[in-house]
Structure 1
Amino acid sequence: MLPIRLVTLDMAGTTVRDEHEVEHCFARAAKDTGLTVSDERVLALQGYHKHQVFEMLWTEHLGSNHPEWSARVEHSYETFTSILENHYLTHPVYPTEGALELFQWLREQDIRIALTTGFYRKVTNIILEKLGWLKGLDSRYIATGANSIIDVSITSDEVVAGRPEPYMIQKAMATFGITDAAEVINIGDTPSDLKSGTAAGCRLSLGVVNGTHSRQQLEAVPSDGLLENVGELIKVIGGR
C-alpha cells in the first residue's frame, strides 16, 4: 500500500475553532442586504465560497436573469467580507482540539500539511497571522523551511472552483509533486469538505464532529469515517 504523503485539512471548524461566527457574519450580511435565509440553509452551505453562496441564494430569490441579480450578489458579498474581516481582526482565534499535536506529528512523519479553505486570501491571512501559521511561508504560501507550522495554504479563490469540487486538494498535490490521490487524506467538518475529498479520489475523506456539523448531520454524507477531532487522525494514520 502506498504511504500517506499529504493531509489536506479545512480551516474553520476543523483546524481553527469555530463558534458559528462565520454563520453569524453571513446571516447578518444577508439580513442587512435584504436577503431572507434560514439558519438551516446557511449551515447547509458551509464550506462553499461565500460569493458562490450569495449567487445561489439570490438566484433562488430573484432568478439569475433578474436585472438586479448581479448587483445584489456583489452588495451582499461585499457586506459579508467587511463584517467577517472586522470580526477576525477584533476577536481572538484559536486552534481546534488536537490540531497542533497533529501538525507536529505529521511533520515528524514527513507528511505534508495543506490547509484549504472556502475563505478568500485576505481573511485567511488574518486568521493564519493570528495563529502564527504564516510563519515560514513564502509569497505563494508554501513552506520554505523546517520552521513552518504548515506546508501550504490554499484558498478557494486561488482555484477554478471551491468545494465541493476537488481543485484545492489537487493544487496541494501538484505543489508537492504528488500524482496519486491514494497518498492523500482529506479531513473537514462539512458535507462539502467530505464531497471534495471523495471527488479528488483521496485514500480517505474523513469528517470531524467538533466543528460546524454534528455527527448526525455528517453521517448523512458518504465518507470514510468520522472523528471526534483532528488529533484522532494520528491513530488512523499510525495504525495503517
Structure 2
Amino acid sequence: MTSPTAAPGTAPRAAHRAGSPDGIRLAVLDMAGTTVTDAGAVEDAFVQALSQLDVPEGGVAHDRMMEHVRATMGESKISVFRHLFGDESKAERANDIFERAYAELVAAGRCKPIPGARETIEALRASGIAVVLNTGFSPRTRDSLLASLGWLDLADAVLSPADAGRGRPYPDMVLTALLRTGAPSVHHTVVVGDTPYDIEAGLRAGAGLVVAVLTGAHTEPQLRAAGAHYVIDSVRRLPDVLRGS
C-alpha cells in the first residue's frame, strides 16, 4: 500500500503509525462533531444540568466545570459528571438532566449531519469497509439522535461506552467494533474523531490509521499534539486519505 497524502493544509504524522495496514477494512467514526453537527447542543445540555444542580452560569465553579467539559469532549458523559461532582447520586442526576435536555434539543432540530457524512459512510460500506459509529452518549441518547437523522440503519453497528465497558480515551469501543464486525485486525482499522480523546482511544487500540477532523471544538494544533496521523477539514475527505493509504 502506498503512503497516504494528507488533505491540503495538513501533514502526516507517520512516526506515530501503529503499523502499515494492507488495506482498511473497518472505520470507527465518532458522532457529535465528526459525523453530526449539533450547534453547541452538547454544551447547552451540560449548562442546563449544572444549573439545575445549583451551579449557575457566571460563577467561578460553573466556569471551572465547563472548562473540564470542553477539555474532555468525547468522554462518557456520566464519567464527566462523576469527576465534576465526586458523588455518584449527583452524577446520575446530572446525567439524567443532560440526557433529557439534549433530547429536547435534538427534537428541536439542533442536530444535523455534517455535510457529506452520510455519503462518506455509504461509500465506505459500498467499498467493503465496515462502519461503526461510536459516541460518549448513553444508548438512549445515541439512538434518539440517530432516529432524528434517519440513521438507524446507516452503519454496521453503533456503540456507546455502556456497550463496550469503558468510554474514551480507553480503547474499548474501538476494540468492540473490531469484534462486532469481524475486521481482520486493528492494523486494518481507521479511527476518526474531532477530539483528543478520540485520537487517544484510536492510538491506544493500535489502529492502523487515526484521523482527526476540524468540524468539532478542537483546533488543528491540539489534534496534532494528541497524535493524529492526519488532520483533515471534514469526514468527507476520509476517502481521499484512504485512497492514498
TM-score, normalising length: structure 2: 0.84
Partner in structure 2 of residue 117 of structure 1: 135
Q: Which of the numbers 67, 70, 82 marks the counterpart of 2:88?
A: 70
SS of 1:162 mapped into structure 2: coil
Partner in structure 2 of residue 51 of structure 1: 78
SS of 1:37 mapped into structure 2: helix
> Shift of the alpha carbon at 1:179?
4.6
Q: Which of the numbers 2, 18, 37 marks the counterpart of 2:38?
A: 18
| Distance 1:37-1:157 versus aligned 2 partners, 3 A rule | farther
Give me the CA root mean square deviation: 1.5
Partner in structure 2 of residue 180 of structure 1: 185
**What is the number of residues matched between the two proteins?**
218
Partner in structure 2 of residue 162 of structure 1: 167
**Distance in 2 (alpha carbons) for counterparts of 1:103 and 1:82:** 28
* Sequence identity (%): 32
Partner in structure 2 of residue 108 of structure 1: 126
Higher relative contact order (CA 8 A, sep 6+): 2
**Distance in 1 (alpha carbons) for counterparts of 2:110 and 2:48:** 20
> Shift of the alpha carbon at 1:41?
2.2
TM superposition outliers: structure 1 runs of 4+ over 3 Å: none
Q: Which of the numbers 62, 71, 94 marks the counterpart of 1:37?
A: 62
| CA deviations over 1:122-163 (Å, ceiling 9, x no partner) | 11111111211113xxxxxxxxxxxxx211111111121110
Whichever residue aligns with residue 39 of structure 2, its letter is: E
> Shift of the alpha carbon at 1:79?
1.7
| CA deviations over 1:80-124 (Å, ceiling 9, x no partner) | 122112221222531102212211221221101100010111111
**Distance in 2 (alpha carbons) for counterparts of 1:70 and 1:108:** 44
> Shift of the alpha carbon at 1:213?
1.5
TM-score, normalising length: structure 1: 0.86
Q: Which of the numbers 199, 219, 227 marks the counterpart of 1:222?
A: 227
**Distance in 2 (alpha carbons) for counterparts of 1:24 and 1:92:** 11
Which sits farther off after the overlay, 37-46 or 1-10?
Answer: 37-46
Structure 2 residue 99 is the aligned partner of structure 1 residue 81: yes
Partner in structure 2 of residue 204 of structure 1: 209
Question: Where does the alignment leave 5 or more consecutive residues of structure 1 unmatched?
Answer: 60-68, 136-148
Query: Contact conserved, 2:156 with 2:181, CA < 8 A, in 1?
Result: no
Whichever residue aligns with residue 2 of structure 1, its letter is: D
**Distance in 2 (alpha carbons) for counterparts of 1:178 and 1:234:** 18
Structure 2 residue 244 is the aligned partner of structure 1 residue 234: no
**Distance in 2 (alpha carbons) for counterparts of 1:180 and 1:201:** 9
